Chains A and B, each alone.
Chain A
Amino acid sequence: MSCRAVSVLSKCRISQQQIRGKAHFTFQPSQTLPAALQSMEKTKMNLMQSVNEAMRIAMETDDSAVLFGEDVAFGGVFRCSLDLQKKFGKDRVFNTPLCEQGIAGFGIGVAAAGATAIAEIQFGDYIFPAYDQLVNEAAKFRYRSGNQFDCGKLTVRTTWGAVGHGALYHSQSPEANFTHTPGLKLVVPRGPIQAKGLLLSCIRDPNPCIFFEPKILYRLAAEDVPTGDYTIPLGQAETVRTGKDLTLVAWGTQVHVALEAAQMAKDKLSADVEVIDLQTIQPWDEDHVVESVQKTGRLIVTHEAPISSGFGAEIASTVQKRCFLNLESPIERVAGFDTPFPHVHEPFYLPTVHRVFDAIKKSVNY
């Protein structure tokens, strides 16, 4: 048994691991823009630049907006806040010490006092020291004060997801850790256009938001982004590919994996897969997904985070209830395994296009 296991799994032996691998997906720029954005002027931007642009606009249009976090003064490790200190001054863009709990709590205070707080936690993996403040304080401030106080002007930006070589503490996707907490809004963009519009929405939304930025997309993803001030509504999903045979739901980087798997299914199985980018994870756009599954009869949810208690479970549970009689096959989840995020074995952990394709095949042949 054990020998066979080795031989089976080792067929894909890791010879390419001599050198860090290339990205496990291909970025697919948005095909169509929402009507309101079509007439706007556009420039080529990567995700880092579009986040920068969103923060610039937020600070220009709101005198009370301040930006702080570890090393943000010189642009932050990913350069998202590049030149913002120069533009807005040291009293509005400033470095904090290395203290995530402090950053989150400080941000809540700033927001509760009526200013717009944009707080950066350098890596999503470092958000856990701030977890108590976000879950126990930020999320419940409005509720426990009977709406007398809130910290809705707080937006926490943090980097998110696999990056190809990040290992245990620079790769995690902690969105599901927060979806168990009513009172927070959670957003993950799939590219520069969405990042800009969704981040501006988060900053202006009267609820505390956590904005997860897929760090692998910062430089790798570039597309024509409208240059003006625009927002993309929170709580709305977007269908990024239409199809009639199966619904595939994803967010962040995984949308691009899903799009590739959908194309593969078209080529190899002649299956028309509909791909939905959830965009806002909490509150999520139930109706949008349900309507799609009522049409296709099949659902796969895919995310990078470990499968157990991942947000895919929530979607699956809701859809089986609302679409019970529409379903043609069991709802499938394709996700990271229930392991810590691995060091050398990242390519085996990730829900790659092949794993998603296999799930599609299983579902349409059910």
Chain B
Amino acid sequence: MTKYFNLVLQLERIWTTTMALFARQLQSLTASGIRTQQVRLASSTEVSFHTKPCKLHKLDSGPNTSVTLNKEDALKYYRDMQVIRRMESAAGNLYKEKKIRGFCHLYSGQEACAVGMKAAMTEGDAVITAYRCHGWTWLLGATVTEVLAELTGRIAGNVHGKGGSMHMYTKSFYGGNGIVGAQQPLGAGVALAMKYREQKNVCVTLYGDGAANQGQLFEATNMAKLWDLPVLFVCENNGFGMGTAVERSSASTEYYTRGDYVPGIWVDGMDILAVREATKWAKEYCDSGKGPLMMEMATYRYHGHSMSDPGTSYRTRDEIQEVRKTRDPITGFKDRIITSSLATEEELKAIDKEVRKEVDEALKIATSDGVLPPEALFTDIYHNTPAQEIRGATIDETIVQPYKTSADLLKAIGRA
């Protein structure tokens, strides 16, 4: 019933908006050419959409269910999600070609979470996440080349090949983290620094439904509430902690309520607009000094937990296909912005083409660039790593490690 009501509401909104557009176009027909007017109007028009309401825990009111979107943002979000999708496909292929060392966890299916949250973030906000970090790394400033080349361990990589899939960083992005549950207390720590500096910022601290069962989260939640830290604990619930479905791993699958005394909201993580609106609201909540907030993003991952998991032994192929068909964050968004005339099929096709080109070019570098010389093995272990003796090519040829940091080494080989 609610579903039907929502649909009617949404149709009504689309109808009203379209009619308004139509009326304004008619008015302007008398002036100049129709074509230019339409473009100008389209680009300055905001369309409103209806999103699934958030479920609330210990809150009286939550984010708005009526959200607006303009053309510029629509195209940007579409592009961002497509870049992540395309980049992850490329990463998956590289892994299958055995060009990637380390492990590789793909974000495909979850794009709306990262892109939606990023859209609501402001300068100075920080992010820390788990090992599914390629998309976030790119959104927060790294290039596609830096991400893919890090996966293949090349100098052009985000950490010049020293980190690999789970370890990438940019300013304000405290990285992917390889150990399940390790990043949550760190996020609280980052938030403490923000509070101490009186910044109007939040630390977006992400974890999966799997890591939601790690004790460290509960320790971090307590500290965050005790000191009212501006931290958003965001559980990206993709339904499976590695190969175990949430119902079989968690006594309560309502992750947004599991902060107990910390209020929380449940968000439709497949709808970028819902995610953006919820994050905006959550940021205001934190900014007002109320302390931490739990957010659960209901989402889905198309691939296995990591590349070594085909992802089909604990769920059916049909289930994955069904989500792809009916809940895909990109397809869903695409339909909405075309139906509401915020974008045309052609515009989106042009974006797809551009994205494909960007990823293809990055792939070329990621598979052809050099690897850091072996001395990199010994750099960055401590602040000013003491020079170590390393055996050279023969038993008598011992050399003293010449570089202390990767930066020194990069400079020496002309790649600084």
Partners in one complex: yes
Q: A residues bordering B, Cβ < 8 Å?
A: 1-6, 8-14, 17-20, 70-71, 73-75, 77, 95-99, 101-102, 122, 125-126, 128-129, 165-170, 337-340, 342-346, 348-349, 355, 358, 361-362
Q: Please determine whether B244 and A70 come into contact, CB atoms closer than 8 angstroms.
A: yes
Chain A residues with Cβ below 8 Å from B313 are 74-75
Contacts A11-B393, A129-B181 known; A344 to B375 CB distance under 8 Å? no
CB 8 Å contact bits of B149-182 with A (1 = contact, 0 = none): 0000100000001111111000000000011111
Q: Please determine whether A71 and B243 come into contact, CB atoms closer than 8 angstroms.
A: yes
Distance from A50 Cβ to chain B, minimum over Cβ atoms (Å) = 21
Q: Does B59 sit within 8 A of A, measured CB to CB?
A: no
Q: Please determine whether A343 and B242 come into contact, CB atoms closer than 8 angstroms.
A: no
Name 18 A/B residue pairs within 8 A (Cβ), A-sorted. A1-B400, A6-B373, A18-B367, A77-B309, A97-B210, A97-B213, A97-B244, A122-B242, A129-B215, A165-B100, A165-B102, A166-B103, A167-B101, A338-B388, A339-B381, A344-B164, A344-B371, A349-B377
CB 8 Å contact bits of B211-224 with A (1 = contact, 0 = none): 10111100000000
- Cβ contact of B402, chosen from A1, A126, A343, A344, cutoff 8 A: A1
Q: Please determine whether A17 and B215 come into contact, CB atoms closer than 8 angstroms.
A: no
Q: Please determine whether B395 and A343 come into contact, CB atoms closer than 8 angstroms.
A: no
Distance from B293 Cβ to chain A, minimum over Cβ atoms (Å) = 23
Chain B residues with Cβ below 8 Å from A348 are 374, 377
Q: How many residues of B contact A (CB 8 A)?
A: 61
With the chains together, A358 CA to B214 CA distance in Å?
45
With the chains together, A70 CA to B391 CA distance in Å?
41
Q: Please determine whether A169 and B371 come into contact, CB atoms closer than 8 angstroms.
A: no
Chain A residues with Cβ below 8 Å from B249 are 95-98
With the chains together, A102 CA to B165 CA distance in Å?
27
Closest to B377 in A: A345
Distance from B242 Cβ to chain A, minimum over Cβ atoms (Å) = 5
User: What 9 A-B pairs come out closest when comparing CB atoms?
Assistant: A167-B102, A344-B153, A97-B213, A169-B178, A165-B101, A98-B210, A2-B402, A71-B243, A343-B164
CB 8 Å contact bits of B96-117 with A (1 = contact, 0 = none): 0111111100000000000000
Distance from B249 Cβ to chain A, minimum over Cβ atoms (Å) = 4
Closest to A6 in B: B373
With the chains together, A20 CA to B97 CA distance in Å?
9
Closest to A101 in B: B215
Chain B residues with Cβ below 8 Å from A97 are 210, 213, 241, 244, 249-250
Q: Please determine whether B241 and A10 come into contact, CB atoms closer than 8 angstroms.
A: no
Q: Does B378 sit within 8 A of A, measured CB to CB?
A: yes
Q: Does B392 sit within 8 A of A, measured CB to CB?
A: yes
Q: Please determine whether B395 and A358 come into contact, CB atoms closer than 8 angstroms.
A: yes
Q: Please determine whether B98 and A129 come into contact, CB atoms closer than 8 angstroms.
A: no
Q: Please determine whether A9 and B381 come into contact, CB atoms closer than 8 angstroms.
A: no
CB proximity to A under 8 Å, residues B388-406: 388, 390-393, 395, 397, 399-403
Contacts A8-B393, A97-B250, A343-B164 known; A17 to B180 CB distance under 8 Å? no
Q: Please determine whether B378 and A339 come into contact, CB atoms closer than 8 angstroms.
A: yes
With the chains together, A215 CA to B231 CA distance in Å?
38
CB proximity to A under 8 Å, residues B363-382: 367, 371-378, 381
Chain A residues with Cβ below 8 Å from B181 are 98-99, 129
Q: Does B248 sit within 8 A of A, measured CB to CB?
A: yes
- Cβ contact of B162, chosen from A3, A18, A344, cutoff 8 A: A344
Q: Does B23 sit within 8 A of A, measured CB to CB?
A: no
Chain A residues with Cβ below 8 Å from B178 are 125, 168-169
Distance from A105 Cβ to chain B, minimum over Cβ atoms (Å) = 10
Closest to A165 in B: B101
With the chains together, A337 CA to B182 CA distance in Å?
25
- 19 A-B pairs besides A71-B314, A170-B102, A344-B101 with CB distance below 8 A are A1-B400, A5-B400, A6-B375, A6-B402, A18-B367, A20-B100, A70-B244, A74-B314, A77-B308, A97-B244, A98-B181, A122-B242, A129-B216, A169-B166, A338-B381, A343-B162, A344-B153, A344-B372, A345-B374
Chain B residues with Cβ below 8 Å from A165 are 100-102
With the chains together, A99 CA to B98 CA distance in Å?
30
Q: Does B39 sit within 8 A of A, measured CB to CB?
A: no
With the chains together, A229 CA to B413 CA distance in Å?
59
Q: Please determine whether A98 and B215 come into contact, CB atoms closer than 8 angstroms.
A: no
Q: Please determine whether B102 and A70 come into contact, CB atoms closer than 8 angstroms.
A: no
Q: Does B226 sit within 8 A of A, measured CB to CB?
A: no
Distance from A48 Cβ to chain B, minimum over Cβ atoms (Å) = 14
With the chains together, A349 CA to B381 CA distance in Å?
14
With the chains together, A71 CA to B240 CA distance in Å?
11
Q: Does B1 sit within 8 A of A, measured CB to CB?
A: no
Q: Please determine whether A167 and B103 come into contact, CB atoms closer than 8 angstroms.
A: yes
Q: Does B416 sit within 8 A of A, measured CB to CB?
A: no
Contacts A9-B374, A77-B308, A168-B178 known; A343 to B391 CB distance under 8 Å? no
With the chains together, A128 CA to B214 CA distance in Å?
13
Q: Max chain A CB contacts within 10 Å: which of B367, B374, B378, B393?
A: B374
Contacts A97-B213, A97-B250, A170-B103 known; A20 to B377 CB distance under 8 Å? no
Q: Please determine whether B161 and A344 come into contact, CB atoms closer than 8 angstroms.
A: yes
Q: Does B412 sit within 8 A of A, measured CB to CB?
A: yes
Q: Please determine whether A126 and B180 come into contact, CB atoms closer than 8 angstroms.
A: yes
Distance from A344 Cβ to chain B, minimum over Cβ atoms (Å) = 4
Distance from A343 Cβ to chain B, minimum over Cβ atoms (Å) = 4
Closest to A171 in B: B102
Q: Max chain A CB contacts within 10 Å: which of B180, B377, B391?
A: B377
Contacts A70-B242, A95-B248, A358-B391 known; A14 to B403 CB distance under 8 Å? no
Chain A residues with Cβ below 8 Å from B399 are 1, 4-5, 8-9
Closest to A357 in B: B395
Chain B residues with Cβ below 8 Å from A4 are 399
Distance from A75 Cβ to chain B, minimum over Cβ atoms (Å) = 8
Chain B residues with Cβ below 8 Å from A362 are 395
Distance from B67 Cβ to chain A, minimum over Cβ atoms (Å) = 34
Chain B residues with Cβ below 8 Å from A343 are 101-102, 153, 161-164
Distance from A6 Cβ to chain B, minimum over Cβ atoms (Å) = 6
Q: Please determine whether A12 and B98 come into contact, CB atoms closer than 8 angstroms.
A: no
Q: Please determine whether B210 and A12 come into contact, CB atoms closer than 8 angstroms.
A: no
Contacts A17-B153, A98-B214, A98-B249 known; A169 to B244 CB distance under 8 Å? no
With the chains together, A286 CA to B250 CA distance in Å?
46
Q: Please determine whether B375 and A5 come into contact, CB atoms closer than 8 angstroms.
A: yes
Contacts A102-B215, A169-B179 known; A2 to B98 CB distance under 8 Å? no
Contacts A14-B374, A77-B308, A337-B377 known; A346 to B402 CB distance under 8 Å? no
Distance from A300 Cβ to chain B, minimum over Cβ atoms (Å) = 14
